[in-house]
């Protein structure tokens, strides 16, 4: 039997609220309202004020007000359809909920810790407006399935909003890549100069990282798209609810299959925040390269004044603080994921009050990643790349060594032998403070008689890059095709690249 049938006091929250508050006031007129209990007849003394403050969540979960009202409208509409409430009652409740929504949107809602959470605040405001009929809204549901529904609705939309921000940053990368196809710079492994690549190719690598992040978020949104509404506290209800109707009304694919799982599950939050943590790590890696490239030691990029700060003591300083903060805030998002996992790891089914603590890390993770995406979008759009510095860096570090080894291998020399031969040549050039191209043909032949004058052609950096004409490689044609594909991809998702180019300070 449904919990309300056993305990009629649950049926009208506003009545039990007024009764408990009045009883407390009679016992102690000096006592603050915050010491009252919201749960009426079962309890003989009011809740301790510290306990009430400790357990109140409205300061965090009031962010779910829109979703709470949306779910409540779907629920009461369904209750009328199955005959649990009348059509007039449902209409009155819907109108009251819309009025509460308007009050919240206008910033005029009197949020109260004494009403504990967003659900009780909304329902109490409703009942104060429409009278006791408002108490019928809670028929056939519990705050357990209510909050699970609200969080799925909120997180589903948050995933889409963050994915749109990722698309915008990917669009900026496409624009910047278009303007840097002819710019060569060292590619690195172990932070050592390794081989030449196109700057556009490097920027496209950032875009690929973000594409995976976007996919993980939307995959999580798809998997969470099931409705817990109608599962009540844990064991469903005796009322003839139409769960398919409410699921469809709220944009869910289907009702969840198991009532215990429906109210106790927070996997969907772990998946979403896990995707955000991965995205934050990728954004941190991008930020780290911006920090490195903006140093005098690299000099590959000059960050815009709009995304840097100065020093309080050193007037010459221009610090890449926004990129550094992007790195630093990654720890917060990873911490949010750990917070969720630790909260969940020891919980038995079904609902436990520990789950109240799921919201703050979720909200924080989305807010942090969204802000980081916005900041890095602006910073990358406004950054001034330095092609001459990049070109100069190609002259040191023997980035053409692999080209010489490949040249030998193409003439039948086993690559391991070719690698050894070129290693000797690098040592000789390093000892004499020359480049490989500055060695003589005789010096090359002294290491292997296969060398001839054409070997020097392989040492040209542009030639070296163009020879890597494979899918995913840095040859100009491949990079151009990749940029065109990225433009089409983000354009198909609603990113207007022409408008984006006008909105940003990018120099495509």
Number of H helices, E strands in the chain: 21, 6
Per-residue model confidence (pLDDT) at position 16: 40
Per-residue model confidence (pLDDT) at position 312: 85
Q: Check if the beta carbon of residue 142 is closer than 8 Å to that of residue 263.
A: yes
Beta bridge partners of 184: 198
User: CB 235: neighbour CB atoms within 10 A?
Assistant: 15
Low-confidence ranges of the chain (pLDDT < 50): 1-37, 505-508
Instruction: Using a pLDDT cut of 70, give the percent of the chain over it.
Output: 91
Q: What is the pTM of this model?
A: 0.88
108 CB burial (10 A radius; 0-12, 13-18, 19+): exposed
Per-residue model confidence (pLDDT) at position 46: 86
Q: Please pick, among 34, 37, 75, 190, the residue that the annotation labels catalytic.
A: 190
d(CA 36, CA 20): 6
Per-residue model confidence (pLDDT) at position 38: 53
- The residue whose two tokens read 């009251």 is 96
Per-residue model confidence (pLDDT) at position 39: 55
CA-based nearest residue to 263, from 188, 187, 350: 350
- What domains, with CATH codes, occur in the chain? 3-139 (1.10.275.10), 152-184+200-228+260-381 (1.20.200.10), 401-459 (1.10.40.30)
Q: Is 312 a known active-site residue?
A: no
- The residue whose two tokens read 């995707």 is 275
Per-residue model confidence (pLDDT) at position 42: 78
Q: Please pick, among 6, 14, 311, 506, the residue that the annotation labels catalytic.
A: 311
d(CA 219, CA 217): 5
Q: Is 419 a known active-site residue?
A: no
Per-residue model confidence (pLDDT) at position 33: 40
d(CA 424, CA 431): 11
CA-based nearest residue to 331, from 289, 279, 280: 280
Q: Check if the beta carbon of residue 261 is closer than 8 Å to that of residue 349.
A: yes
């Amino acid at each position: 039997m449904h919990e309300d049938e056993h305990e009629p006091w649950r049926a009208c929250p506003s009545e039990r609220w007024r009764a408990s508050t009045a009883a407390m006031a009679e016992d102690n007129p000096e006592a603050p309202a915050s010491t009252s209990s919201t749960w009426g007849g079962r309890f003989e003394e009011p809740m301790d004020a510290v306990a009430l403050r400790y357990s109140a969540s409205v300061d965090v979960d009031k962010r779910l007000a829109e979703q709470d009202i949306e779910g409540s409208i779907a629920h009461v509409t369904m209750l009328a359809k199955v005959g649990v409430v009348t059509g007039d009652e449902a209409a009155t409740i819907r109108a009251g909920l819309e009025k509460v929504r308007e009050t919240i949107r206008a910033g005029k809602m009197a949020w109260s810790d004494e009403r504990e959470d967003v659900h009780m605040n909304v329902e109490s405001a409703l009942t104060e407006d429409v009278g006791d009929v408002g108490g019928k809204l809670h028929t056939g549901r519990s705050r357990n399935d209510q909050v699970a529904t609200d969080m799925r609705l909120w997180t589903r939309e948050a995933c889409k909003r963050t994915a749109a921000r990722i698309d915008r940053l990917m669009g900026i990368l496409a624009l910047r890549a278009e303007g840097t196809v002819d710019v060569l710079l060292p590619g690195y492994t172990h932070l050592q100069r390794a081989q030449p690549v196109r700057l556009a190719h490097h920027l496209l690598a950032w875009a690929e990282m973000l594409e995976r992040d976007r996919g993980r978020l939307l995959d999580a949104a798809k998997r969470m798209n099931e409705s817990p509404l109608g599962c009540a506290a844990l064991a469903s209800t005796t009322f003839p609810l139409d769960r398919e109707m409410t699921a469809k009304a709220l944009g869910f694919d289907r009702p969840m299959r198991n009532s215990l799982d429906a109210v106790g599950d927070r996997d969907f939050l772990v998946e979403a925040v896990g995707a955000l943590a991965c995205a934050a790590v990728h954004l941190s890696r991008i930020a780290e390269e911006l920090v490195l490239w903006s140093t005098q030691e690299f000099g590959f990029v000059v960050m815009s004044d709009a995304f840097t700060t100065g020093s309080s003591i050193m007037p010459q300083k221009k610090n890449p603080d926004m990129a550094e903060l992007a790195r630093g805030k990654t720890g917060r998002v990873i911490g949010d994921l750990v917070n969720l996992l630790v909260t969940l790891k020891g919980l038995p089914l079904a609902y436990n009050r520990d789950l109240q603590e799921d919201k703050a890390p979720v909200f924080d993770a989305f807010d942090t990643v969204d802000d980081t995406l916005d900041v890095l979008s602006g910073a990358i759009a406004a950054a001034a790349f330095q092609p001459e510095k990049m070109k100069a860096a190609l002259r040191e570090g023997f980035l053409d060594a692999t080209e010489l080894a490949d040249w030998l291998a193409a003439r039948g020399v086993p690559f391991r032998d070719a690698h050894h031969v070129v290693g000797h040549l690098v040592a000789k050039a390093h000892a004499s403070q020359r480049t490989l191209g500055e060695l003589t043909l005789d010096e090359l032949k002294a290491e292997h008689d296969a060398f001839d004058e054409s070997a020097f052609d392989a040492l040209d950096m542009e030639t070296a890059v163009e020879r890597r004409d494979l899918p995913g490689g840095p040859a100009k044609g491949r990079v151009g095709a990749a940029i065109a594909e990225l433009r089409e991809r983000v354009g198909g998702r609603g990113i207007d690249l022409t408008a984006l180019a006008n909105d940003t300070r990018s120099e495509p």
